[in-house]
Amino acid sequence: MPSFLIPPIAILLSGLAAIAVLLAARLAGLGLAPLSAAPASLAALLVFLVGLGFAGFLWWLASRCFTLLRDPATTPEQLSALRDLPLALPEGTVRALLALIVGVIGLPLLLFSQSLALNDAIAGYVNGIIAGVFGYYFGARSTGPEAQAARRLGEALEGQTRANAALRESEAAAREAAAQATQPAQTGEAIARLERQLGVARLLVQRIGPALPAGLIPPQAGALIAQAEQALATARTLPDLGALQAATAALTGRDGPLPSLLRAAAPLLPAAMGGPLAGLALLLGLGWNLGAAAWRRFRARLLDSPHDPALFEPGAITPASAELRLAAAPIFARLFAPRLAEPGFLATLLDTCLRPDAAALLWARFPGFANPEEAEAGLAEFRHALLEERVEADLSPELVGRVAGALGQKAASPALPQDGPESAKAALQALTLLLSELRESRTDPVPLLRELAA
């Protein structure tokens, strides 16, 4: 039989049993007239029957609990929890039964007190009992599991809030302690950075600046240097990280000497490789990392210096490379392109161009020049093309990649400066002279240039 049919069948059988008892009493000649004649006796019988019904209900609940205890699936933790419950019943069951008994018995007695011939005192007692039981029951329910769970949840949330606040306070204290612990290191780093930038600014303003055209170095550069010197002097007695950082930001900012020169020289480079400023920073970094001979060629290229035969090692320039560079010298290309097929012509031309008196020899040996000045101009074009080839060969891809990585740039072929405004050329010459000073003092400009981009 399905389990869900058992309770309705049990109730039906109980009702049939009660009807059978009444029919048996009537057949035995036991009528209900005496009880109807005495309402109090009838009420007592009903109370007795209700009590038996609740006793049977308790017995049924207890049997269900015993079944649970005998179930192998019941865990020891569940058994331990049942020991702490009244009659091993679910919490609140006994209170609910007591309240039901009082309500089922007391309320009818109170409503039919006149029919039962109860005096006012007894009715008042019954009323007090009902009110007391119901008040206790619903008062207990207000602090029952649901309310207790809500209260515990509120307490847990409040505790979590206090814990979060304490955690935030501890994190703030930890950050403050970490800041205090790292402040000496930060101050030392800020002092070193300001000293680097201040040394470059002094070189530019005091040694190189007087030879530059007016306006290339901002007039307030002197005041910025004084501010930086004051911040350094104060830091040696009372370190002030904010003042050090402000002085460094002023020197590396728009009105600083080095940034001003970089902006002025920027038109000489194409807007590529991250912009002209990035290209200039790469060129300066490459110049510092070159060897002595390569540096002399690089400096001559940047300064557009007069030709020096010592810039080229013997045999470094071949007739084949000279032929390739002839196209970059328009005067020579016009005069000598038809003669390239002559045996030994390129070797003779190259030997002549690398001599100290090359201009006079060209005018005397190679006809076609309009005048000696044109011969000298063509020689300058050709020598410039030869020098550019040697400088490009000196800037190896490995060197470019290493310097670009130190500057935080992508490795790319550097662009050498081209023709531009005179102010831009003067700014580039000033940067080249600065790089010469840094090479002599063995001061790497890469950290300085990286700090400008930070």
DSSP states of 349-367? HHHHHTSTTHHHHHHHHST
Neighbours of 185 (CB within 10 A): 9
Q: Which residues touch 138 (CB under 8 Å, ≥6 apart)?
A: none
Rounded to whole angstroms, the Cα distance separating 194 from 131 reads 87
Between 184-193, 216-225, 371-380, the lowest mean confidence (pLDDT) is in 184-193
CA 256 to chain centre: 32
User: Which run of H or E residues covers position 251?
Assistant: helix 241-252
pLDDT of residue 44: 62
pLDDT of residue 12: 67
Rounded to whole angstroms, the Cα distance separating 220 from 254 reads 11
pLDDT, averaged across the chain: 76
User: Quick one: pLDDT band at residue 2, thresholds 50, 70, 90?
Assistant: low
The alpha carbons of the chain give a radius of gyration, in whole angstroms, of 54
**pLDDT exceeds 70 at position 10:** no
Residue 270 token pair:
């194409």
Mean pLDDT of 28-36: 52
pLDDT of residue 373: 92
Residue 24 token pair:
């048996």
pLDDT of residue 371: 92
Residue 28 token pair:
């035995």
User: Quick one: pLDDT band at residue 150, thresholds 50, 70, 90?
Assistant: low
Contact 229, 198 (CB under 8 A): yes
pLDDT of residue 18: 62
User: Quick one: pLDDT band at residue 338, thresholds 50, 70, 90?
Assistant: confident
**pLDDT exceeds 70 at position 111:** no
Q: DSSP secondary structure string, 212-238?
A: SPTTSS-TTHHHHHHHHHHHHHHHTTS
**pLDDT exceeds 60 at position 33:** no
> Which residue type occupies 227?
Q
Is the pTM of the predicted complex or chain greater than 0.75?
A: no
pLDDT of residue 213: 86
User: Quick one: pLDDT band at residue 80, thresholds 50, 70, 90?
Assistant: low
Between 100-104, 215-219, 223-227, 365-369, the lowest mean confidence (pLDDT) is in 100-104
Q: Which residues touch 90 (CB under 8 Å, ≥6 apart)?
A: none
Q: What percent of the chain has pLDDT over 70?
A: 65
**pLDDT exceeds 70 at position 182:** no
